[in-house]
Amino acid sequence: MKSELLKIKCLTVSFMLVLVSTLFFSSCKTSNPDAKIDLTTGWTYTLDENAKPEDYVAFDNSILGNLETLVPEQYGFIWLKKTFTIPESLKNQNLGVYFGRISIADETYVNGAFIGGEGTCPPNEFSAWNTARFYTIPEAILNSGSNEILVKIWVDAEGSIVSNPFISTIPVARKAASREAFWNSKINLIFAFIMVVIACYHLMLYFKNRNEKENLMFALINLLSALYLSVFFYGELSFAFGTHVSFLVFQKIFSNSMPFFICYMVISFIISFVHSSEKKGVKYIRLGFLIIPVVIVLFAQDYRVLRAMRWTFMMLIPPMIYLICIIIRALVKKEKDAVTLLFGFSPLLGTFLIDIIVHNILKNYSFPYITSIGWQLVIVSLLFILANRFVKSRRQVEELNRTLENKVEARTRELSLSNSKLSEANSQLELTNNQLTEAKKKADRDLKLAANVQNSFFNPSLPNFKNWDVVYKFKPAAGVSGDFYDFFHNGTDLQGVGLFDVSGHGIASGLVTMLAKTVIDRKFRECANLPFSRVVSEIDRQITEDKGDIENYLTGVLLRIEGNQVELINAGHPKVFIRTAKNGRCYPVEPKETSEKNGIIGFGDIKQEFRAVKFKMQKGDSIILYTDCLNESVNKNGEQFTEERIAAALEDAGIGSAKSKLDYVLNRFYKFTEGSEIKDDLTVIVLQYNPQN
């Protein structure tokens, strides 16, 4: 755990330092001002295509990043003009002009000659805001004295020149444009490709094991993120956009809607990752925070309206707060993956803060936005975390296989040695009938003593519980039972019920039964204020420790009751059914996700996970608990009674007391198995909620 956190932390810090340092120095101006002509100041503008030179108006250079403020209704063309002279170091050669990023579209002229343009104007408007502008100025069109550069910019709710434009030699201008293109578009294209590869890989893992839904969610997060990143690199893929889809539709889907889908999937992934639960109502609210803003932006009539709808991004705040609460709750519950997850998301927070400081406080628009890169680093961190979890799971499985193989091999050797010794003893000793009879009597006395000791641990009678009607049937197949049950109560207040089945038979199984019953009773009461999953984990740890090398383990069901609220954990036991008084139907009580199966208790050093199911009882609702004798016993044809027949019998039992329901189920069971021997311990418990008020 610590090494994993250290790796993620080092990766995050190193990336952030390299990223910020590289971007900062790459955005600084060159130290040789004579080698270039600065275009950040001295501009004039007009809104009239046929304006005379004297009609151009000077404006504050800080408005270069917000040219839409100069255009009526923020819709139309604006012409920017600047005069310049060429220094001696740049004369007599072709030059390059670097304009960086311009939105929405531009056409650039030098001394009246067209030198280049990006983006398209209406009627097929499409922004080229993230395309780094680099145009060549032929020597033939330049004057030795004064020269004029004119930029025609199409404005639609936004218009800007956000970099530090200049004229210089072609290599210098091209290098600046290449650097800008890399940090603002190409790097996002690279990451998008990587995300698609990651998505394909995790989809493959999911289709190989559909229980691992985290792989499906992570794959969808990567695909959605790759689609969102197209906002930054679509200029690199002119064949994919522009003529095939309108700019308005593109912005609606990829820029304004995709973040809400990503946020929804990320929260779903985190809930699954930290094994958290989510109420249906909360899930529907979260779904509303996805659907409502998406529907709103899809109805935008034009790009100006869409830009005005940026307030919809405020609807990302409640889901993000909810995400933080999930992680904090996981930290409080000491979920082992919560801290790792927190570090995995830290790059996004860091880059977001950097963007806020640099662009909104320092007003440095030449510095590229890096929040998307922070999110890409989060993807890498999550990939590392999932890979690490996968490796750990594989190691646990390999260790389990190795341990089981060793145990089977050791038991085989023991059995072989025992058979050898038995054969030797039979060949050397001939026991008389009296000796055999005496040995049998002694074994019967020991077994009877063990049965008496075990029976003293069980409740021969129960109080009349307030609000609960409780009955049970306990019938050991032999003197010593591997089944045991317990009712936790304070006077007439029922606080919990447990039913367990110890593997194996005989005295050893009976001793483990008594040991486990003592541990469960103590831990249930000591850990009353802990999460229910922690209670069962403590029971598992203590039983594993106390029984030592004894290989018997437990399956079972434990309920914790408070009023009509029930928490239930099924540790490898047969299904528990609830019969509702409302419609008389039976339903299994189990996690919604079938992959969330619990472990068993006392199974060696392999850590088990236990998840609780919470539900409320209504008046007349009843619950049936049973050991595997009830569902696995067979009739004369070799057919098992099955869990389905148990549920059907409880449904057919009709209304009435808990005892009438228990009797009906057992009568149907005995009739089904008539003529067959019942070879296992039988225990059945029926609980019926009958509130007095």
- Sign of the CA dihedral 498, 503, 506, 511? negative
Instruction: Using the predicted structure, report yes or no on whether residue 430 has a pLDDT greater than 80.
Output: no
Residue 446 has what pLDDT? 46
Select the more confidently predicted residue: 442 or 201: 201
- The model's pTM: 0.57
For 166-225, the three-class secondary structure string (H helix, E strand, C coil) is EEEEHHHHHHHHHHHHHHHHHHHHHHHHHHHHHHHHHHHHHHHCCCCHHHHHHHHHHHHH
| Greatest mean pLDDT range, 21-30, 75-84, 214-223, 261-270 | 75-84
Residue % of the chain over a pLDDT of 70: 79
**Residues linked to residue 475 through DSSP beta bridges, in sequence order:** 682
CA distance 528 to 21: 53
Q: What is the mean pLDDT of residues 488-507?
A: 86
**409 falls in which pLDDT band (50, 70, 90)?**
low
Residue 418 has pLDDT above 60, yes or no: no
- 153-198 pLDDT tens trace: 999 999 999 888 999 999 999 999 999 888 888 888 888 898 899 8
Task: Report which of residues 457 and 37 the model is more confident about.
Answer: 37
DSSP string, 222-273: HHHHHHHHHHHHGGG-TTTSSSSS-HHHHIIIIIIIHHHHHHHHHHHHHHHH
| For helices 213-233 and 371-428, angle between their N-to-C axes, nearest 10 degrees | 160
Selected residue with higher pLDDT from 364 and 82: 82
* 623 in Cβ contact with 570 (< 8 Å): no
Structural domains in the chain? 2-27+184-395 (1.20.1070), 33-176 (2.60.120.260), 463-689 (3.60.40.10)
Question: pLDDT at residue 56 above 70?
Answer: yes
User: Which of 9-13, 44-48, 283-287 shows the lowest per-residue confidence on average (mean pLDDT)?
Assistant: 9-13
Angle between the N-to-C axes of helices 317-332 and 258-273, in degrees from 0 to 180, rounded to the nearest 10: 10
Angle ∠(545,551,556) on CA atoms, nearest 5: 80
Residue 596 pLDDT exceeds 60: no
Instruction: State residue 9's pLDDT score.
Output: 45
Structural contact between residues 284 and 251, judged by C-beta atoms closer than 8 angstroms: no
Q: What is the C-alpha to C-alpha distance for residues 530 and 524, in angstroms, rounded to an integer?
A: 10
Q: What is the pLDDT of residue 429?
A: 46
What's residue 405's pLDDT?
Answer: 58
Q: What is the mean pLDDT of the chain?
A: 82
> In whole angstroms, what is the distance from residue 174 CA to residue 205 CA?
44
The pLDDT of residue 417 is 66
Confidence band of 400 (pLDDT split at 50, 70, 90): low
Average pLDDT, integer, range 108-136: 92
| All residues at 6 or more sequence positions from 204 whose CB lies less than 8 Å from its CB, including other chains | none
Nearest CA among 189, 191, 174 for reference residue 234: 189
Determine which of 27-31, 427-431, 465-469 has the lowest per-residue pLDDT on average. 27-31
